[in-house]
Amino acid sequence: MLETRITIAHEAGLQARPAALFVQVANKFTSRIWIAKGDKKVNAKSILGVMSLGVRQGDEITVIVNGDDEENAMSAMQKLIASNFSEVPQDGTGD
């Protein structure tokens, strides 16, 4: 299991387009992926779950990945967030 804390810089936080991209990338992997904010943890493959966290610009989230492709999944999620949701990993590896 991998876990990392990341601050969301996108002006929309994890709402609308950034949330959809986050879910799209998460769904490329077989690993279970969660996002936690405060004491609430949701499935990162669920658009409603992601949006229900109410993540805003500047909020810190924890991304938790567990499964056979967890390293590639974590790398892709980190790359997406680091690019401020402008670069979607196409191959599912984060490269």
> pLDDT of 24-69, one tens digit each?
999 999 999 999 999 999 999 999 999 999 999 999 999 999 999 9
Which residues, other chains included, contact 50 with Cβ-Cβ below 8 Å and sequence gap of 6+? 14, 19, 22, 23, 35, 42, 44
Determine the 3-state secondary structure of 4 from DSSP: strand
pLDDT band at 94 (very low <50, low <70, confident <90, very high): very low
As assigned by CATH, the class of the 2-82 domain is alpha beta
Kindly give the pairing relationship between strand 2-7 and strand 40-43: unpaired
